[in-house]
Amino acid sequence: MARKIITAEGFKNQTIRQMKSLGIYKQEFDTIIDVYSGLLEQYARLYKQFIDSDMNFQVYTDSGGTKKAPIVSTLEALRKDILMYAAQLGLTVKGLDSIEVEKKKPKSKLEEALESLSQPPKIKRKSKK
């Protein structure tokens, strides 16, 4: 079984790998990737705490009623933020659709011929024996 990532650095490396495999990674995105990775780390740690607390989603108030546990509200907010950053980085279907991926289209034979004409000829030197 694979080990779960719970550090910002691990999430950053994973995010960069995913973006590279999609062909959308640029070094200029590293600052946003750092923020996104930090959010993922916070979420992973809080989610583990929530699971360890037997998913206690309610707390009792001083007046005897119940309300949503603060950890649940925090997890919900983090989830929304993570989704927003993931879309901005192109890691969701909708986010990826909004990014223009620079794909190298194959050159036509005419383009190849014109390109070869614009380059200076290569001179081969005879080797001295």
- Over the stretch 91-120, which tens digit does the pLDDT of each residue have? 999 998 888 755 556 778 888 878 777 776
- Where in the chain are the domains? 8-104
Percent of the chain's residues with pLDDT above 70: 85
Percent of the chain's residues with pLDDT above 90: 53
CB 85 within 8 Å of CB 13: no
pLDDT in tens, 65-91: 888 889 999 999 999 999 999 999 999
Query: What integer pLDDT is reported at residue 110 of this predicted model?
Result: 83
Among 50-54, 101-105, 123-127, whose mean pLDDT is lowest?
101-105
- Top-confidence residue, 24 or 115: 24
Query: What integer pLDDT is reported at residue 2 of this predicted model?
Result: 61
Query: What integer pLDDT is reported at residue 17 of this predicted model?
Result: 96
Residues 6+ apart with CB under 8 A from 71: 46, 49, 50, 53
CB 107 within 8 Å of CB 75: no
Query: What integer pLDDT is reported at residue 114 of this predicted model?
Result: 80
